[in-house]
A and B are shown apart, each in its own frame.
Chain A
Amino acid sequence: MKIRLDNVVKTFDTFRAVHGVSLDIESGELLALLGPSGSGKTTILRMVAGLEYADGGHIYFGDEDATDIPVRDRGVGFVFQHYALFPHMTVAENIAFGMKVSKVKREKAEISTRVGELLRLVRLEGLGERFPSQISGGQRQRVALARALAVDPKVLLLDEPFGALDASVRRDLRRWLREIHDELGITTLFVTHDQEEALDLADRVVILNEGRIVQQGTPQEVCRAPNSAFVVSFLGDANRLPAEVLSGKADLGGTQLAAPDLADGPAEVYLRPGDLEWSNTGSGIAARVLRVIDRPDARRILALTESEHALELDVPPETEVGSNDRGFVQIRRARIFSKSASGA
């Protein structure tokens, strides 16, 4: 089912949580709403579900205007961050709940067959008789997903689905959710503040800030062509250095970078730690090492330039470097935004 948001607005008391968001979600797409807390991503998800009503604009499910359809008739599957499993029901009863309360009457045998299928789908065969308090967090989240899928929803909505889980469980569940989505082909919308999760899982990522869409595109598009300073710094670690643009060149105090499309004036240069190189001799930005942090795949150097700007850079694990070494930083890749445009 194709979902379309048309200029949707939501205000809580005096706080405008969502400012005129328009968004198309293609049928069968797996889409991530990514943003910091307070960016309005959960509010948007809840409006699509019908758990909040939009103050303005329209939400379409296919060609149907679903804006005023109450949640119980909207046909969505919603997975809550903290699972919201019914604690007094067994896993099987939780999954069967939607079928039992449905207006469409089903035979008992039909329900239990379907519950069995769903337990197999979420790989929890044999746990049907347990209570939610007797299974792990990751298992609970899978039960919540099975319960949401049991009512054959038109769209699957997940609110920070892996937020409450350990990092390793999270990674497994992520891959597994992708598999389930590919198997069922159901239109899926999920909310996260974790950029790694969004990039790992989604076909398309919508980045939100302060109730507005900042950028949307495939993970490749938003990573390779971020359209603003906000997107660059939100998607990962980035160093920020002030620069001065003059006739297509950005000057970082000695080092020049090409900035062909920028107007003259103050600008900011964003540098990913992996896009920088370190050498003990040669050219580049002169800097002094403050500390070296060792990580499994790289060494991160915390350095201070001569103009007293902090820089972080990742170098190969075999690099010999220590505190108080002096050397030079070379820039392999950079993003430059005019100060006025970046809003900083």
Chain B
Amino acid sequence: MTRRRVLPGLPLALGITLVYVAIIVVLPLGALVFKAASLGPEDYWRIVSSDRAVASYRVTVLSALAATAFNLVFGMALAWVLVRYRFPGRRFIDALVDLPFALPTAVAGIALTALFAPNGWFGSVAGLAGIKVAYTPLGIMIAMSFTSLPFIVRTVQPVLEDLDPALEEAAQSLGGSDGSIFMRVILPLLAPALLAGLSLSFARSLGEFGAIIFIAGNQPMSTEITALLAFIRLEEYDYQAAAAIASVLLIAAFMMLAVTNLLQARALRYTARN
């Protein structure tokens, strides 16, 4: 039986989307892999395992992890407050959440640097407490969490909105404490959305460039992120080295998305039907 569909038939729709994906996504990535592959295995390994590169992976991944963990807690709290409570200014705050998406990341980076520099509003206060933010990994973390916050809020928010309040009432009537209701009922139901938000937030943090380079200080071996290192190699016209370093980021992103998809499938297995 043929059904009438709104969009033009499968062959045309599939053709257009495949061509689009090929040109916009696969071609640049292919070129990247091709460029990196033009190095011999030994050269490739030497570049990607150099001390400076490894130091950049470490600072990038650790900062991204810290930023994502921070966003997990804060983003979920923000989504919770926006969904569950009605207060003046709620819609305004809701709109503000998207601002990191809309703002050019370089602008965000400059603003954050101005605030957190030793003579800035926040930086001077933090300095009194003996905490240095700008030009340290902490600054990188702050820039990353700024640009990736919307991912967690916007993935969790709709799921939270659809969560039947009767589920919580049922759990309460069965004697569940607030803590056990959150851990056993709410969190497992939010898990797939949280995972999606986490992986997007982490991927964005790994790849963030504009917001970070102003606040990071960019000292090789300590506050130089991987994306910047690739950029420096490009500036030096060392395209192969740039591609090699970028390929490491690419592989990391791929592996992370694969793991998240697996976890998500596991968290959603209850939706499977016989």
Contacts and interface: CB of A to CB of B under 8 A. Distances in A.
Interface in A146-160: 147-148, 150-151
Contact of B274 (A87, A102, A134, A144): A134
B176 A72 contact: yes
Interface residues of B, number: 24
A84 B166 contact: yes
Of A88, A102, A134, most buried by chain B (CB within 10 Å of CB) is A88
Interface stretch (A73-81, A162-170, A268-276): A73-81
A59 to B, nearest CB: 15
B40 interface: no
Contacts of A173: none
A338 B223 CA distance: 90
B169 A101 contact: no
Contacts of B189: 87-88
User: Which DSSP category, helix, strand, loop or mixed, fits chain B's interface?
Assistant: helix
A80 B172 contact: no
Interface string B162-191: 001011011111111100110011001100
B204 to A, nearest CB: 28
B270 A101 contact: no
Nearest to B165: A84
Interface string A57-73: 00000000000001111
B169 A131 contact: no
Nearest to A104: B175
Q: Please name the 5 residue pairs, one residue from A and one from B, whose CB atoms are nearest each other, closest first.
A: A98-B174, A84-B166, A84-B170, A101-B176, A78-B173
Interface of A: 49-51, 70-74, 76-78, 80, 82, 84-89, 97-98, 100-103, 130-134, 144, 147-148, 150-151
22 contacts: A50-B173, A71-B172, A72-B174, A73-B175, A74-B173, A78-B169, A78-B173, A80-B170, A82-B166, A84-B166, A84-B170, A86-B185, A87-B271, A101-B171, A101-B174, A101-B175, A132-B270, A133-B270, A133-B273, A134-B273, A144-B170, A151-B174
